[in-house]
Structure 1
């Protein structure tokens, strides 16, 4: 298990359908010294610093938690993974701060703070500039962070995600994200190739967390293998706004090997 360490001391807490408290809304909970100390103590597990900003996550503190997270990450020589929800702060404020190797998650989120301009089907300029300087774009589907309208514009413009992730948590596991394989299947339905979808779910995330020995099969790499199967038919896939797309292929689990041993035999 590898982890991003939340810049907020308690991490994400008070997170349910009825109670939602932003862990970055109170700067008293964001001590860069404490975060630095914990990250160094667990350097074998910690691959980056996580921060959530937006009206829900950081409230009146706006962009400040991201600045704190970047300072800690810079001292550690690690990337930041940044969540962005509704403004403030704005998409421009956030992506302009991200450095080469930093990760913007929820990168195909719907309006507002979407990366695409839907009225003319273009990718926003600051998003293109961020990719050019090496910012990594991660899906992070979740409960409220993936919209087909955005995704279709981005893909039509040739802007595929670097990483495909489900952001499965207590609210999204019951839909619309469900799990990693459903999330991957949505991108097949949107026209990405199977090779692209697999790479964005395996070797590309491994590169993003600077563990290039993971996420692919080769002599000397760990024998951690998910065997998948493709089921053909007609499948409804839902985004966070209730929009449905029909896919012809659903990726299903078949068997699992960990460390060279079958946990779920074929």
Structure 2
């Protein structure tokens, strides 16, 4: 550690950092907001004993909705992060070019947890999403704001990391796949990846992934029938496998309707794990079936995924997907974020979006969070991730 005294030491945890191939009991040191070193018997001004815990790079939830107060579907990012040990919330289209300025000023810049954004191609983002009012923002082509989206994306490159579009029977309806064509034009012009949501057909899963470029992201990748990645025999559809082979990324995006045990078991049996694991947390799933990032990660323990691979899909892989290599790693010089988790033994019911419950003998729990090289006191964060918008 070249004789430097660290600001903070996490001592004696099981450090799992897939970006470096590290899985060992070690210390992690932070200085001036960044990772200083990973090693043994490191010294610092503040020492936190995390023995018996897992220490990972700061978890990245690649699919969240956190424009709280500005959109009906969003939860409060800081409240959410405190319970699930997430250091970066990637908001996926809550805001569009018409209301992004408010998202940035009133939420992103005020938040303790880092918020990055996929900007929605729709002018006002996801503007009508609740138990009482549900309007697919991609149904009206008049809202597909290509010029505005490009302008806003270019002016906010520090926090906008991609373009978002939602297509399917419930979100684009009579517009079909056309909103995705507009979003692809903007993503190409801006040099950014596209994240696309699918729900029920039309369009079909294969029609959507056929249009995606290397580095683009298909979220809700383990949807139930209809529009699952597997056919009736449980085999990965040819167009889906071809998309992965050319570099399309597949993200979980659990949410209210997009993770089915039946699909997940078939896809894993076919050697088709997700590239990234995300919660798609919003007001209609934060109390189930998705709950949060660590609950979503826990479901992959039941599917036979190894702990380091689950951690990778929540750290280094999403960092690569959003082209932020300074995140998702504990390499010296990386952003000083770390998540402290426990791997609990017991009998834990884990439910999918269809109501199927699988009892898991293990699950992850969030136990602490370091952001910018400093321990974040969870006691200072409000208790609930959901605030009612009256």
Where on the TM-score scale, by shorter chain, does this alignment land: which range? over 0.9
Residue number among 297, 305, 315 corresponding to 1:184 in the alignment: 297
Confirm or deny that 1:168 pairs with 2:281.
yes
Q: Deviations over 1:70-99 (max 9, x none)?
A: 000000111100000001111121111001
CA contact (8 A) 1:231 1:252 kept: yes
Partner of 2:252: 139
1:99 equivalenced with 2:213 (yes/no): yes
After superposition, residues 68-87 of structure 1 pair within 5 angstroms as 68-87=182-201
Secondary structure at 2:360's aligned position in 1? strand
- What RMSD, in angstroms, separates the aligned Cα atoms of the two structures? 1.1
Aligned residue pairs total 265
How far is the alpha carbon of 1:14 from its aligned partner? 1.2
Aligned-partner SS, 1:9: coil
Deviation at 1:189, TM superposition (A): 1.3
User: What corresponds to 1:41 in structure 2?
Assistant: 155
1:18 CA drift (Å) = 2.1
Task: Name the structure 2 match of 1:255.
Answer: 368
Given candidates 123, 133, 143, the residue that maps to 1:29 is 143
Which stretch of the first structure deviates more once superposed, 240-249 or 160-169? 240-249
- Which residue does the alignment assign to 2:262? 149
d(CA) in 2 for partners of 1:4, 1:186: 25
TM-score (norm 1): 0.98
Distance 1:120 1:27 in 2: 37
CA distance in 1 between partners of 2:377 and 2:304 (Å): 30
How far apart, in 1, do the equivalents of 2:367 and 2:139 lie? 43
C-alpha displacement of 1:255 = 1.2
Q: 1:234 aligns with which of 347, 358, 362?
A: 347
Does the 8 A contact of 1:257 with 1:264 survive in 2? no
- Superposed, which structure 2 residues align to 1:58-73 within 5 Å? 58-73=172-187
Question: 1:22, 1:168 → 2: CA distance?
Answer: 18
Paired with 1:212 and 1:155, the residues of 2 have a C-alpha distance of 27
Q: C-alpha separation between the residues in 2 aligned to 1:129 and 1:141?
A: 23
TM-score when scaled to structure 2? Answer: 0.67
> What corresponds to 1:222 in structure 2?
335
Secondary structure, aligned partner of 1:196: helix
- Greater C-alpha Rg: 2
Give the Å deviation of 1:264. Answer: 3.0
Write 1 or 2 for the structure with the bigger share of strand.
2
Superposition misfits of 4+ residues, deviation over 4 angstroms: none
Please give the per-residue CA displacement for 1:22-45, whole angstroms capped at 9, x wherever unaligned: 011101111200110110111111
Matched, 1:129 2:242: yes
CA contact (8 A) 1:109 1:150 kept: yes
Partner of residue 111, structure 2: none
* Deviating more after overlay: 255-264 vs 74-83: 255-264
Compute the displacement of 1:176 (Å).
Answer: 0.2
State the partner residue of 2:119.
Answer: 5
| Cα separation, 2, equivalents of 1:241 and 1:121 | 17
- Could you tell me which residue of structure 1 aligns to residue 5 of structure 2? none
Whole-Å separation in 2 of the counterparts to 1:207 and 1:186 = 23
Provide the rounded CA distance (Å) in 2 between the counterparts of 1:192 and 1:234.
18
Comparing both chains, which one has the higher relative contact order based on Cα–Cα distances under 8 Å and sequence gaps of 6 or more? 2
